[in-house]
Chains A and B, each alone.
Chain A
Amino acid sequence: MRRSVGRLVGGALAVALLVTGCGGSGSDGPRAAGSTTAPQASASTVNRESELTIVTFRVAGTLDPVGTLSASYLRSHGAGEALMKIAADGSVQPELAKALEQTSPTTWTLSLRPNVRFWSGAPVDAAAVKASLERTRVLDSFGASFIKDVDIAVIDPLTIRLTTSEPGYTLGQSLAFYQLLIHNAASYGPALNGNDVKIADLTGPLRPVSFTAKTEMVLERNPGYWGQPSPIRRLTVREVADPQARAQVALAGQASIVQDVPADRAKEIRNAKGPLELVAFPAANTNAIYLNPASTKSPALADVRVRQALGWGTDRAQLVEIATEGLSKPMPSWLASNPSFPEAAAQGFTSFDAAKSGRLLDEAGWRLGSAGVRQKDGQDLTVRLMTWGTEKAMGEVIQAQWKRIGVKVDLSHGEHTVISEARKVNDWDAFTEAWTTLGDTPSLLANKVGRTGSGNYAEIDDQRVEDLLAKARSSADAAERKKAMLDLNALISDVAPLVPTYPRLQLTAVAKNVQGFVPHPLQYENIFQIAMGLSA
Chain B
Amino acid sequence: MRTSTASKLTRAVAGLVGTLAIVSVGVFALVRSAPGDPIDVELGPLLGQSGLTVVEVAEFRAARERELGLDRPIPEQYRRWLARVVRGDLGVSFRNRRPVRDELVRHLPASLALGGAGLTVGVGLAGGLAALASRRPGGPVDHAVRVFSLVGASLPAFLSGLLALSVFARTSGGYQITGPASFGRLWLPALVLGVATAPTPLRLLRSALVTERGRLYAVAAVARGVGPTRLVARHTARPAVAPVLSMAGITLAGLVTGSILTETVFSWPGLGRLVVDAIESQDYPVVQGYVLVVFAFVVVANAVAGALQRLVDPTVDAAALAVT
Contacts and interface: CB of A to CB of B under 8 A. Distances in A.
A163 interface: no
Q: Which one of B36, B46, B50, B265 has the greatest number of beta carbons of chain A within 10 Å?
A: B50
Contacts of B40: 417, 420-421
A436 B48 CA distance: 8
Given A240-B177, A420-B44, A146 B96 contact: no
B48 A435 contact: yes
Contacts of B56: 141, 145, 148, 454
Interface stretch (A38-46, A291-299, A441-449): A441-449
B35 A418 contact: yes
Given A195-B98, A242-B264, A248-B166, A455 B177 contact: no
A239 interface: yes
A61 B178 contact: no
Contacts of A213: 96, 98
Contact of B267 (A148, A239, A440): A239
A148 B34 CA distance: 33
A447 B49 CA distance: 8
A251 B37 CA distance: 38
A239 B178 CA distance: 8
A179 B52 CA distance: 14
Interface of B: 34-37, 40-57, 60, 63, 95-98, 158, 162, 165-166, 169-172, 174, 176-180, 264-267, 269, 273, 276-277, 280, 282
Interface in A316-357: none
- Interface residue tally on A, bucketed by range: 35 or more
B277 A244 contact: no
B42 A68 contact: yes
A251 B170 contact: yes
Contacts of A421: 35-36, 40
Interface of A: 53, 55, 61-62, 67-69, 141-142, 145-146, 148, 174, 177, 179, 191-192, 194-195, 212-216, 238-242, 244-245, 248-249, 251-255, 275, 415-418, 420-421, 433, 435-436, 439-440, 443-444, 446-448, 450, 452-456
A67 B41 contact: no
A249 B47 CA distance: 32
Nearest to B98: A195
A248 B51 contact: no
B109 to A, nearest CB: 13
Contact of B269 (A62, A215, A244): A215
Contacts, number: 154
17 contacts: A67-B96, A68-B96, A142-B52, A146-B51, A148-B56, A214-B277, A238-B178, A239-B267, A241-B277, A245-B267, A248-B169, A251-B170, A417-B40, A420-B40, A435-B48, A443-B51, A447-B50
Nearest to A447: B48
Contacts of B48: 433, 435-436, 444, 447-448, 454-455
A249 B266 CA distance: 11
A532 B48 CA distance: 31
A340 to B, nearest CB: 16
A454 B47 contact: yes
Nearest to A414: B35
Contact of B51 (A62, A145, A416, A436): A145
A303 B126 CA distance: 64
Nearest to A238: B178
Contact of A142 (B46, B54, B158, B171): B46
B172 A252 contact: yes
Contacts of A192: 97
A62 B49 contact: no
Nearest to B174: A252
Contact of B265 (A174, A212, A242, A253): A242
